[in-house]
Amino acid sequence: MTLTVGVIGIGKIGQEHIRRLTETLAGARVVAVSDADSARAKEVAARLPGASVYGTGEDLVAAKDVDAVIVASWGATHAAYVLAAIKAGKPVFCEKPMATTEADCSAIVDAEAAFGRRLVQVGFMRRFDAQYRAMKEAIEKGAVGLPLMFHSVHRNASAPAHFKATMAITDTAVHDIDIARFLLDDEPVAIAVRAPRANRRAGGVADPLLALMDMRSGALATIETSVNIAYGYDIRGEVIGETGTVSLAEQSDVVIKANGAFSVRVFGDWPERFGPAFDAEFRAWISAAAKGGAAGSSAWDGYVATAATLAGVKALESGAREPIKLRERPALYAL
């Protein structure tokens, strides 16, 4: 009944996933960990009753008592572990990006298609957010007519020291790109990126950026990333249809009227904003993995996200609209 899980990569995000499976959600137990830093692996395992440490991710994947795998290691290492899990026929939850090159992504897609059943779930938690789901539901019900545009806004109070402008595409806008596809039920064909006047708080990095992503249907997604905007973590989105629009409502707990104004607190950062979405994402994964499958974003979604962000990086550098050329979609991923 209880899903036994092995976790590859137990840095900040990996430990957060372990905490969620162990302390918050029913149905799973972490029985194996592995990490490039073996001391850290031992330390974390020691706090998990009955958990083993494996020297390599591949060994962990192969372990008999591991039903399913979470990959939360450094991005460039994802592909190998995901491929190993597919080979072992084990469900695998992979943090974004699924892989850092189109070739690696494509290899995963091929492997899973050959396996013949979904095993891979990519960590785009927004698809489990109650607000985005309500948005999609409204669109599907025809509440706003055929979608023509999507304005997405992704703001962070401040970027870490090592942040580069391209990361605003690969690490930040990647979430907006995935959710645009989800909401519009459409694939991207091209992307351009504008770098307006830079925020001096960004220390020389081009920030904010405005990406313009063209979809196959002709719909246009605009994505503003502002990663040093000081005031808080703020995710906004509006889909413009032929007869109306649907947008994410402001999330607020209390309204305080004081000192000549009424005010509402803004989220500080993503763990708070998307906490319930992460819970729902892993609840869905535990449930699907227990049946040998996966939920949410697929390997195909992981592939397209990487293809689109790499085109976006190119577009930021070239200043031109860059095409996003997608391979053929295997039948496994038919809509």
Using the rule CB under 8 A, give the single segment among 36-44, 51-59, 90-98, 227-235 that binds a copy of itself. 227-235
Q: Kindly state the DSSP code that residue 169 receives in the 8-state scheme.
A: I
Judged by CB, which is closer to a copy of itself: 26, or 334?
Answer: 26
Q: Report in angstroms how near the CB of residue 8 gets to a copy of itself at its nearest.
A: 21
Judged by CB, which is closer to a copy of itself: 62, or 240?
Answer: 240
Chain centroid, CA 137 distance in Å: 20
Q: By C-alpha distance, which of 154, 97, 86, 90 is closest to 123?
A: 97
Judged by CB, which is closer to a copy of itself: 77, or 245?
Answer: 245
What b/e sequence results for 282-294 when a residue is b if at least 16 CB atoms lie within 10 Å of its CB, and e otherwise?
Answer: bbbbbebbbeeeb
Within positions 175 to 194, which residues make up the interface with a copy of itself, using CB under 8 A? 194
Within positions 20 to 79, which residues make up the interface with a copy of itself, using CB under 8 A? 21-27, 49
Q: Report in angstroms how near the CB of residue 192 gets to a copy of itself at its nearest.
A: 9
Q: Report in angstroms how near the CB of residue 248 gets to a copy of itself at its nearest.
A: 6
Judged by CB, which is closer to a copy of itself: 117, or 265?
Answer: 265
Q: By C-alpha distance, which of 268, 197, 195, 199 is closest to 235?
A: 268
Judged by CB, which is closer to a copy of itself: 254, or 331?
Answer: 254
Judged by CB under 8 A, the residue of 244, 269, 318, 325 near a copy of itself is: 244
Judged by CB, which is closer to a copy of itself: 37, or 242?
Answer: 242
Q: Report in angstroms how near the CB of residue 329 gets to a copy of itself at its nearest.
A: 21
Judged by CB under 8 A, the residue of 31, 105, 138, 189 near a copy of itself is: 138
Judged by CB under 8 A, the residue of 112, 234, 281, 322 near a copy of itself is: 234
**For the purposes of burial, counting CB atoms within 10 Å of the CB of 12, is it exposed (0-12), middle (13-18) or buried (19 or more)?**
exposed
Judged by CB under 8 A, the residue of 257, 291, 328, 334 near a copy of itself is: 257
Judged by CB, which is closer to a copy of itself: 67, or 112?
Answer: 67
Confirm if 220 and 227 have CB atoms less than 8 A apart.
Answer: no
- Could you say whether residue 291 binds a copy of itself (CB under 8 A)? no
Rounded Cα gap, residues 201 and 243, in angstroms: 40
- Could you say whether residue 268 binds a copy of itself (CB under 8 A)? yes
Radius of gyration of the chain (CA): 20
Judged by CB, which is closer to a copy of itself: 162, or 259?
Answer: 259
Q: Report in angstroms how near the CB of residue 325 gets to a copy of itself at its nearest.
A: 20
Angle at the Cα of 190 from the Cα atoms of 185 and 193, rounded to 5 degrees: 110
Q: Residue for token digits 């990569």?
A: 9
Within positions 141 to 160, which residues make up the interface with a copy of itself, using CB under 8 A? 143-146, 148-149, 151
Q: Does the CA dihedral 270-271-273-274 come out positive or negative?
A: positive
Chain centroid, CA 297 distance in Å: 8
Within positions 107 to 126, which residues make up the interface with a copy of itself, using CB under 8 A? none
Cis upstream peptide for 276 (omega within 30°):
no
Q: Kindly state the DSSP code that residue 242 receives in the 8-state scheme.
A: S
- Could you say whether residue 229 binds a copy of itself (CB under 8 A)? yes
**For the purposes of burial, counting CB atoms within 10 Å of the CB of 331, is it exposed (0-12), middle (13-18) or buried (19 or more)?**
exposed
Within positions 271 to 290, which residues make up the interface with a copy of itself, using CB under 8 A? 276, 283
